Each structure stands twice: as structure tokens, then as C-alpha cells.
Amino acid sequence: KAPSTTASEAINKIDFKEAVIRHLHCTLGTDENKANNHAWWKATCAAIQENVLEGLRKTQKTHYLNDTRAVHYFSAEFLMGRLLSNNMHNLGLFDTAQEALKELGVELTDIMEEEPDMALGNGGLGRLAACFIDSLATMELPAIGYGIHYEHGLFRQEIKSGAQIERPDSWRDYGNPWEICRPESIQEVSLYGYVETKYGENGRIQKEWHPGVTVKGVPWDIPVVGYEGKTVNVLRLWQSEASDYFNWDVFNAGGYVDAQRENVHAETISKVLYPNDETEAGKELRLVQQYFFCSCSLKDIIRRYKRAHGDDWSRFVEQVVIQLNDTHPAIAIPELMRILVDRAELDWDKAWNICTQVFAYTNHTLLPEALEKWPARMIEKILPRHLEIIYEINHRFMALVDKKWPGDNEKKAKLSIIEEGNEKMVRMGNLSVIGSFAVNGVAEIHSHLVKQNLFPEFEALWPGKITNVTNGITPRRWLKACNPALSALIDKKIGNDWPLDLNKLEGLSKHAENKTFQKQFMQVKHANKQRLAKEIKHSLDIDVDVNAIFDVQIKRLHEYKRQHLNLLHIMALYRRILENPDYDMHPRVFIFGAKAAPGYRLAKDIIYAINMVGNKINNDPRVKNKIKVVFMPNYRVSLAEKMIPASDVSEQISTAGKEASGTGNMKLALNGALTIGTLDGANIEIAEEVGDDNIFIFGLTVDEVDALKNDGYNPLDYYYRDAEIKAILDWLETDYFTPGQPGALVSIKQSLLDEGDAYMVLADFRAYSDAQIKVDEAYRDKTRWAKMAIINTAKMGKFTSDRSIQDYVDKIWKLRACEVK
């Protein structure tokens, strides 16, 4: 069925104009003549928020009256981006608002630029959470997202003389029009202190935690509007504040300054999002953040449950399912045990039974350095009672393992939550698997590797517990809102119900060879490229040819994602042009967007190298504009929304087995970009959908990577046997790209030759270069390319996050939709 404007039928242009003006006057204290874009943006948000809040109220009432089972999505990250355009589209108010504002002399797309991104996440994991809550609301599923109300999101990236500089992100500096503070739902969270062992009347041992510190968790709610605006769920983010109760002793003893200092400490908890830096162990504040939001969220869930069911815990597991987005919220498992055993005085088995029916865990990475482990000593200091509980969970679990494999200490060592060694460590992955009823990976290949390589002993112990749910993306944001011209073209061709049923895009397939449609499709792409070219000119003063291939690699910077493979290939092309001025290639613009973790040296060096090589190539007349290299600073959701619709080629070139899924790959293909990629993550499933003729697959497979590693991979073999590879790597050592600074780019060469090339860049280089030649050939055949691009869009139905969520519902959550009238 066609999307109706249910929520907004009554709202016409006149009403909307009236609402915006009213908010200019009464909310912002200004008027139409004085208002700048920022004020117009705020007034427009406020006018939209009226409709959002109406839906929120109805939804909450309906969920309460129906006493619905709900999923609680626990995530330290929600990468929401901007909300105005999304909310307008989901409410069906975009056109109304645009026309109304036009009549007031205001351009909607201009004022949308005033909105700061909500960048409360690092990358794929946080954006996935944002797509999932969009789908949950759209599918009318009772759900709540729980996370942290960071004062500063992911750092803002500036590029100075080619190098990344980090600046604080301040998304709330001038107020956030979407969030609602809920002081009535404040929670208290305890930290530090010691545990007292007591003996109760019945001889039962009782543990009492005497915390050293108490802090307040203040909830901020962000409404999450489903498509067509019926269900409006919430994202509840906790902000830390000093507790009213705690530091009065210090204060009364005359320690006013010390009391203030404690304030600062409490408020530090939600101050800043941690970037994905090398290793987490030792970062006490990070563990405190995790516990803080989990404890607040669990108490919030229990408060809501008790309102309906009192002290009867028997229905808790029917009402509550909690999805752990990676191990970041794994501390919620011992926290729920503590609440049930110490507070509610349930016996251990009963409590454990509840826990293991409530939690489910998603794994998002196999990289050893990204698997969370905390020193037991640190947990003991911050959460002494929780460490005891973790030991007790482990003790009972080890008994179970012994039953299955009597006397097998090797198995026990692998399965144990505790890693013995110099310093005892708590493995959050093992805790998550043991405390959950379901574990999932995020793409077929990744889930297979989770079973086979990461948790083989758990797979043997509990066959069937580990499953797959392939990631997805919301087509509302990642096609309808970000690519209005393509959306309109699709509407015209196959109707407008595809945002709710993305498999409908399949209907485009039969037009893939239609010349008129091809022309229209590529005209949209061309117009999007013109817009991006303007943006590039504006922000970097680089002229790019809109008829060139726009080749895009946008994702966090990491060696396993191999931005340096892309760079080495660019250098190879440059070298070929210098050696042969007639080198035949279609002009190409290589566009990058990537943030490096501030402490990740080589990643920052790669950014620097991209900029320095780019600078040289862009200004070398001998290149005759056949190559341009563009590094777009401060890659973020709102920039992705501009780059993706303008992309021809999507670079998905991770070492096979390393990228759990990827989601940018889906966004780009959905918008008609062709993938050049390895058989890794969701690329494999994208290839299955579009067919081998419509994707450029190259390089080692997972098995070949393993085999080569086992045989003893030697990058020097490739260096000496491939003259081009040698020439390029040697080039990095000169000062050709960094005049006067020889060796400034040498760390890349070193990582590939001296340090063993852990991600097999050199092993895949030739295959990658050959695949790029195929890309070039394909692009020159306009008809062929148009057909391939259309097929890519047409075959992306599988990758809607609605399908991912339906998989979670069927396999894991067992939820029912609840219609909001």
C-alpha cells in the first residue's frame, strides 16, 4: 500500500507555517524578519516535534495498556546523525514543510545544514544501532534504545597540512530540539566501596555492598519516529550527575572544594565517547561508563515492570528481552544477578534462570585487539560485588564444563570467563555467551567464523546457540531521504511502497536494459555528482570532472580495511601515467572519508599519505586530470548522505575474514554504486544478490588467507617479484610526495615489509589492480554500466534493516508488533 500521511493528514501548509512562526515567536523569542537560518531550523524542528510528541504519547499509552513485551537495545553507541529530514520524511511532512517554508522565503535544504550531527558512535556498530531503532519503530515493535548521553560525541576531524587533528565535538552547544529531559525517572548508580558478608536468619549468607560513591543517572529521551509516523519509540540516553545524597559529609566537614571535585568526577562519566583506540584494558572510566548506563537502564526496566507486576518476578522473562550490542554492555549480566539475588532475594538458580532468558548478545568483530577484557583487579576496585558474582557464575559454569568434558583442563581454560596469567583478566565475550540465550554474528561468513574460530568450544557445548543475523540499513534514510531524485524516479517506475518493502526494488530489474530508464538513472547520478563536486570545490578548492568515475572509500581508517591498498593502486596509476603519457584510462576521482583513532599512529600516517600523494597528483599537469584524489575531512553521517548518492564505485577491500559485515557496502550499492571488493563480510551476500556480473570481486578468500599464513606469508616475495610494487614502495621512502621530508611516509612501507604485512596488502595488490582495470573497461561502456548500476539498486532488498529486525524477532526476540491507532 502507498504510504499515507496518517499522522499528518490534518497538517497542511497553512498549519505548518503557523506552527513555525509561532515557535519563532514563542519558543525562540524572535520573528520572521530577524531570524537567521539557525532560528528557522530550530523553529522548524519545534513544529515537527509537536507531531512527534503526539505520536510518542499515543505509543507509550498503547504499550502500557497492552502490557507489551519489548526489546531493550543496550548500546554504548547510537550514531544518529541529523534528525530533521528523517523525522519529516517518516511523518510524511517533508513536502508540506518544504513548500510552507518556501512561502516564508526559507529554503528547507539550507536550514537542514544548521543541524549538528548526533555523532554518539564510532562507526558501523553505532550506525547499525541507529538503523535498527528506525526499523523497530517502523515495524511497530515495542522497543527502547538505551545508551549514554555523551556531552561530546566522536571528535571532529580537521586536516592541517595533510594531517589529522582532533577537535572536540559539541553537538548540544546551542541546545538539541529533539531531546526531552526526564528528571522524574532519575536513577542512582553506585561505584567502588566494599562488600560485607552477613548471615541472615535462615543461616543464608547475605552480601551487602557498601558503595564508596553514588552518582545520578538523568535520562534524556529522543523520540524515534517510525515510517508513516504511527509508532514513536524512544532512545533513552543517560547523563551522569553528582548525586544529591553522596558527598554531604565531605561538604559538612568544611570540604567545599573537595565536594565540588566529586561533582566533576561524577559528571565525567558521560563526558566523552571513547574512540576505538588500540586497547581498552586499563581505561577505568570506560568500564565505569559501561556499568553506569547498564545499571540505570536495568533499574529503569525493572521500575516499569514493577509498575505492572509488583514483586512477582515470574513474568519478567515474558516481558523483557535485552539485546547486548557487542560486549560493551556485558556488565549488565552480573548487575541483573546482583539486583535479583542481593536486592530481590531470589535464590541463585532462579535468578540465573531469569538472566539467561533475558539477554542476547551480538558479536561485531573477530579482531583480537578489539575483544574486551578487563583486569579483575580493576573490576574489583570499581564493582567489588560484581567481581564476586562473575566468579560465582564462572565457578558454576566450570562445573558444567567438567560434566561435559570430565577432567579436560584445556577446555576449561578456553571457556573460562577468567583468563589466568600475570594479571587475571575477565573476558567479556565469554561472560556474554554464558549469560545469554542467543549469540549472533552480523553476516553469514562472520557468524561462521564466530562458531569456527572465536567460540568453537561454546559451539560444541551449546550447538545452535550461535546464529547469524545479517546486518541491514534503513532505506528511509539511506535512499529516500538522502537521494530524493533517485527515490522520485523509483516511485515513478514501480510505485512508492518500496521504503516499507524493499524487495519491491526488484521491479526495477526488468527496466535495467531500457535505454530511457538507463538515461534517467544515470542523469540522477550525474546531478548528484555535480552537487558533490560543488561541495568538494567549496571545502577543499579542488576541481573535479563530473564525467570522471567517482570512486569512494568511506569508513573508519584501519589497516584491515586497507585504505593503503587503494592508495598504493593510485600511486601505481600515477606512475603508469608518468611512464606513458598516453596511458589509457577513464578519468577517475578517488574520494576518501575516514577518521583514525587518535592513538593509532599508522592510521594517521595513512591519512597523511593520502593527502600528500593526492596533493602531488592533483597539481601535476602531466596527469592531465586523469586522476584526482580527494580526502573529505570530518567524515560523518551527514557527509555520507551527500557522498553515497554521488558514488560510482564502492571500495570494500578488507582482508578476507576481517570485516564482520560492513554496512557502507549496502548503502552504496543501494544508491547504484558498483562494488569492487573482497569476499568478506556482507560483500559475499551482496555478490549473491547482484550476481557475479554486477560486482568486481578480487583477492584472497578467507581460506586462502589462512593457507598463505600457515605456509609462511612473506611480503618480500611480492616486493621482489612485482616491479611495480617495488617501485611504489620505494617511492614512499623518497621525498617526492613530501618535499624536504624524506621518510615522512616510510611507516607504511615498514608495516608492509618489515612488520610482515599482517593484512596481506601486497598479496592482494595485483588482483586488485586487475579488478580496477575491469572497472575502467566497464565504465567506458555506458550502457553496460547503467544496467549494472540499476541491477545493484534493484537487488538490495535483502539489506533493509527491516529484514534484519524481522530475523531478530523470529530467531531471538519473539516479539509481537503492537498497532498504535
Q: Give the interface with ligand 26V as residue ranges (CB under 6 A).
A: 123-125, 128, 276, 278, 326, 364-365, 367, 369-370, 442, 471, 558, 659-663, 681
Q: Can you read off the three cell numbers belonging to residue 527?
A: 546531478
In the complex with ligand 26V, which residue's Cβ is closer, 138 or 447? 447
Is residue 526 part of the annotated active site? The answer reads no
- How far apart are the C-alpha atoms of 132 and 773, rounded to whole Å? 37
Catalytic residue among 365, 474, 663, 738: 663
In the complex with ligand 26V, which residue's Cβ is closer, 44 or 365? 365
Is residue 663 part of the annotated active site? The answer reads yes
In the complex with ligand 26V, which residue's Cβ is closer, 581 or 599? 599
Q: Can you read off the three cell numbers belonging to residue 28?
A: 525562540
The one-letter amino acid code at 194 reads: Y
The Cα-based distances of 326 to 131, 457, 817 in angstroms read 16, 19, 25
State the minimum distance, in angstroms, from the CB of residue 195 to ligand 26V.
Answer: 31
Residue number of the CB closest to ligand 26V reads 124
Catalytic residue among 364, 477, 626, 658: 364
Diameter over CA atoms, the chain: 92
Q: Can you read off the three cell numbers belonging to residue 39?
A: 532560528
State the minimum distance, in angstroms, from the CB of residue 79 to ligand 26V.
Answer: 10
Three-state SS across 668-728?
A: HHHCCCEEEECCCCCHHHHHHHHCHHHCEECCCCHHHHHHHHHHCCCHHHHHHHCHHHHHH
State the minimum distance, in angstroms, from the CB of residue 766 to ligand 26V.
Answer: 25
In the complex with ligand 26V, which residue's Cβ is closer, 457 or 559? 559
In the complex with ligand 26V, which residue's Cβ is closer, 455 or 718? 455
The Cα-based distances of 19 to 103, 131, 198, 476, 671 in angstroms read 14, 29, 62, 25, 35
In the complex with ligand 26V, which residue's Cβ is closer, 742 or 756? 756
Angle in degrees, CA 81, 85, 89, rounded to 5 = 125
- How far apart are the C-alpha atoms of 554 and 560, rounded to whole Å? 14
Is residue 299 part of the annotated active site? The answer reads no
Is residue 564 part of the annotated active site? The answer reads no
In the complex with ligand 26V, which residue's Cβ is closer, 151 or 372? 372
Residue of 665, 667, 663, 639 lying closest to 479 (CA atoms): 667
The dihedral over CA atoms of 42, 46, 49, 53, expressed in degrees to the nearest 10, equals 140
Torsion-angle region of 606 (φ positive above 0: left; ψ -120 to 50: alpha; else: beta)? alpha
In the complex with ligand 26V, which residue's Cβ is closer, 278 or 735? 278
- How far apart are the C-alpha atoms of 195 and 727, rounded to whole Å? 64
State the minimum distance, in angstroms, from the CB of residue 325 to ligand 26V.
Answer: 9
Length of the chain: 821
Helix H or strand E segment including 372: none
State the minimum distance, in angstroms, from the CB of residue 280 to ligand 26V.
Answer: 7
Catalytic residue among 373, 556, 562, 787: 556
Q: What is the DSSP string of 205-237?
A: EEEEEE-SEEEEEEEEEEEEEPTTSS-EEEEEE
The Cα-based distances of 508 to 167, 493, 497, 672, 687 in angstroms read 44, 7, 13, 12, 18
The Cα-based distances of 480 to 226, 465, 506 in angstroms read 14, 36, 16
Catalytic residue among 446, 555, 588, 604: 555
State the minimum distance, in angstroms, from the CB of residue 353 to ligand 26V.
Answer: 30
In the complex with ligand 26V, which residue's Cβ is closer, 162 or 677? 677
State the minimum distance, in angstroms, from the CB of residue 146 to ligand 26V.
Answer: 18
Residue of 121, 117, 73 lying closest to 233 (CA atoms): 73
State the minimum distance, in angstroms, from the CB of residue 462 to ligand 26V.
Answer: 22
Catalytic residue among 561, 564, 588, 658: 561
Is residue 667 part of the annotated active site? The answer reads yes
Catalytic residue among 480, 667, 749, 787: 667
State the minimum distance, in angstroms, from the CB of residue 578 to ligand 26V.
Answer: 36
State the minimum distance, in angstroms, from the CB of residue 598 to ligand 26V.
Answer: 12
Q: Is 320 helix (H, G, I), strand (E, B) or coil?
A: strand
The distance in angstroms from the start CA to the end CA of the chain is 17
In the complex with ligand 26V, which residue's Cβ is closer, 276 or 678? 276
Is residue 622 part of the annotated active site? The answer reads no
The Cα-based distances of 173 to 118, 151, 442, 562 in angstroms read 12, 9, 35, 36
Q: Would you name the residues annotated as active-site residues? A: 364, 555-556, 561, 663, 667
